[in-house]
Structure 1
Amino acid sequence: MAESMGGDTWKAHVSMALAQLFYGGYTVITKVALNVGVNHLVFCFYRNFLAFFILAPLAFFIERRTRPPITKKLLMSFFFLGLTGIFGNQLLFLIGLSYTNPTYAAAAQPAIPVFTFLLTVMMGIERVNLLRYEGLAKVGGTLICVSGAMLMVLYRGPALIGDKEMDHVLQIKRGARGQPEPSGWLISGLLNLGFDHFQLGVMSLIANCCCMTAFLAIQAPLLKKYPANLSVTAYSFFFGVVLTLIVSLFMVNESTNWILKQSEILAVVYAGSITSALNYGLLIWSNKILGPTLVALYYPLQPAFSVILSQIFLGTPIYLGSILGGSLIVAGLYIVTWASYRERQSTLGVTAHASSVSEPLI
């Protein structure tokens, strides 16, 4: 059994590294589709529908004997998961990606575990002891991570790697193809307040992280009441598909927007099958073996993979603000996850010590 667990641990580490590589590829492939002119809502609908088409049969057959009965409260929870983790999370990510580049989009993702930590503290799920070094490290790492996210919004800086004019060329191509402005009235209002498109893009990425944070925080207690992982995912994607379709029918005016080009079809297939269906399965399976602390340690690999892939395939530049802000986010993430790991090891050590003392006495 120990040998089997050791083999599963090794496979889980490899799976997490591959998952982040797949996420990095998603940002690059999706950026190409956005440059071609795919509508954000249409892209989300096709992606969610494909993921639901893959996950629903698997959940039905694999968990048909272990799936608890559905109640109204569970349906409301599934609806909220679809609203935050599927609809809001994906749409905000696409808006942020369209206004920035894959490097910024991937650099913001490591903030998700830290934002999740903040929300779980407010909900009472996570506890912080400020009298211990681990508690201070959690708070300090969280502040560092949030500071990095704000730095990415307020400061862009010079282009250190690549041609700065590449972003302007991509924006001109996107405008020439008639890409509609996402949420035009909201974008126009924020532009009137003095924000530019790049800052709005980064703020959308931060809001995307907040949606995923709510998705993870609410999903954790829900899985204890409804421990069917694939079914929870399938229900979440079902409501995500419904919400995306309803909004698309009101927001997408041109029927031609529903017709995908070759590069857009490739992006939808990759996003629906790999990024949604496969990656979610890898994350859940690895989380059962490694635990959330070690799983979170792999998120900083996503910006590195995205930088490499975007430089190779898109030629997008890397700015000073991206390097500084991304470095702070990664540093804050590692500090928080290190503190959480130390607290867990300390708790396990105390439990093991208490067991070894009480057993001989009994």
Structure 2
Amino acid sequence: MAAPAIVNGGDATERETRMAHSAMTLVQVINGGYHVITKVALNVGVNQLVFCVFRDLLALSILAPLAFFRERRIRPPMNRSVFFSLFFLGLAGTEKVNLFKIEGQTKVGGTLVCVSGAIAMALFRGPALFGGKDAVDSVKSVIIDRSQPEPNGWLISSFLGFGFDLWHIGVICLIGNCMCMAAFLAVQAPVLKKYPAYLSVAAYSYFFGASIMITTAILFVREPKDWSLTQSEVLAVIFAGVFASALNYGLLTWSNKILGAALVSLYNPLQPATSAFLSTIFLGSPIYLGSILGGILIICGLYMVTWASYREQQTTVSGNEIASSSGVRISEPLIYRDETGK
């Protein structure tokens, strides 16, 4: 009677895996919209630190009550070991890849294809296939037209003093963001095994992040008027806090629990593709050949890795079914035991 239970468990696991992949696709689509909306909001004068403070506080106000009422029965106590594991357990959180099997080789190949697509979108532009000069001019009028020039903080001014321009500083910040996100997912994956309340993990993360952001804003935002927002800026904060933060990080944390850090991280290259697509729809910006080729490579790479992970999961479930139905212990494959255990 053990085999049907394993089959049902395998079906449930497969269903959760499909839902997690769909959730990560939705996360990247929302992130693409977040980048477009935030770009417009920041360039019309809202202070970036104030924007982040309101965004994080709004997300925390949503995640904390949800975690408290939904997970109060399953949430384990936050002891000292769990607290410090938020910072240190990620050092051991790696994914195993068997390069001697087709699944492992496909995972590595798919990862390379996916990363190559993201690099192609960043480095190769090519001709504009959709949109043209008029669209570019309209985008510039939205993005560049500001009521006042944006002041540079001490960190940006330091980089400018070394001869960097703002575009290079942006690239450095993006690289740092990718490294921090990878570390966040790597730390989070083993924490979720020990502390399975995923909404609580997301809420605790936002609590620490909001605390640091508020402290930073109090120290560096000098003008009281920077804390006032226009109606359009409030709408941008609401989208960022509700969808791009609370919803996205709840889905991301849950998907990390199901898929692992490596697969979750692999969805990040979808962001430039969705951002380019949404920029064309809402801002009229052109889509270039490099964006289309890069997007195709990203989707192909994701499919390769997802297929390999599915094959590995099916092999594991089939092996468990055979071992359970035959009464053969995995640790003692040559010893048969009957129903009495003899």
> What range is the shorter-chain TM-score in?
0.7 to 0.9
Q: Distance in 2 between matches of 1:139 and 1:212?
A: 20
Provide the aligned length of Structure 1 versus Structure 2. 315
- Percent identical pairs in the alignment equals 55
Match of 2:52 in 1: 44
Give the deviation of 1:279 after TM superposition.
Answer: 3.2
Matches within 5 A, 1:275-286: 275-283=244-252
Matches within 5 A, 1:210-229: 210-229=179-198
Q: Which moved more, 1:9-18 or 1:29-38?
A: 9-18
Query: What does the per-residue CA deviation read over 1:119-154, in whole Å, with 9 as the maximum and x for residues that have no partner?
Result: x9x946311222122222222222233333334444
Q: Distance in 1 between matches of 2:280 and 2:127?
A: 17
Q: Distance in 1 between matches of 2:149 and 2:265?
A: 39
Q: Distance in 1 between matches of 2:116 and 2:202?
A: 32
RMSD: 3.7
Q: Which moved more, 1:273-282 or 1:130-139?
A: 273-282
1:53 partner SS: helix
Match of 1:316 in 2: 285
Match of 2:77 in 1: 69
Match of 2:201 in 1: 232
TM-score by length of 1: 0.71
Q: Of the candidates 139, 163, 166, which is equivalent to residue 132 of structure 2?
A: 163
Q: Distance in 1 between matches of 2:151 and 2:298?
A: 31
Looking at secondary structure, tell me which structure has more helix per residue.
1
Q: Which moved more, 1:51-60 or 1:202-211?
A: 202-211
Give the deviation of 1:52 after TM superposition.
Answer: 0.9
The verdict on how the C-alpha distance between 1:214 and 1:47 changes in structure 2, with shifts beyond 3 A counting, is same
Match of 1:185 in 2: 157
The gaps in structure 2 that reach 5 residues or longer are 329-335
Match of 2:315 in 1: 346
The answer (yes or no) to whether the contact 2:63–2:199 under 8 Å persists in 1 is yes
The answer (yes or no) to whether the contact 1:297–1:337 under 8 Å persists in 2 is no
The answer (yes or no) to whether the contact 2:114–2:301 under 8 Å persists in 1 is yes
Q: Distance in 1 between matches of 2:288 and 2:296?
A: 12
The answer (yes or no) to whether the contact 1:153–1:199 under 8 Å persists in 2 is no
TM-score by length of 2: 0.75
Q: Distance in 2 between matches of 1:160 and 1:251?
A: 43
Q: Of the candidates 31, 35, 38, which is equivalent to residue 30 of structure 1?
A: 38
The higher radius of gyration belongs to: 2
Q: Distance in 2 between matches of 1:272 and 1:68?
A: 27
The answer (yes or no) to whether the contact 2:160–2:166 under 8 Å persists in 1 is no
1:330 lines up with 2:302 in the alignment: no
1:58 partner SS: helix
The verdict on how the C-alpha distance between 1:71 and 1:287 changes in structure 2, with shifts beyond 3 A counting, is closer
Match of 2:95 in 1: 126
Q: Distance in 2 between matches of 1:328 and 1:54?
A: 36
Matches within 5 A, 1:73-222: 73-78=81-86, 80=87, 123=92, 125-163=94-132, 165-166=136-137, 168-174=140-146, 176-181=147-152, 183-185=155-157, 187-188=159-160, 192=163, 197-198=166-167, 200-222=169-191
The verdict on how the C-alpha distance between 1:168 and 1:199 changes in structure 2, with shifts beyond 3 A counting, is farther
Query: What does the per-residue CA deviation read over 1:270-328, in whole Å, with 9 as the maximum and x for residues that have no partner?
Result: 1111222233344556677x756997897777656544432222112223333333433
Q: Distance in 2 between matches of 1:334 and 1:303?
A: 18
The answer (yes or no) to whether the contact 2:185–2:265 under 8 Å persists in 1 is no
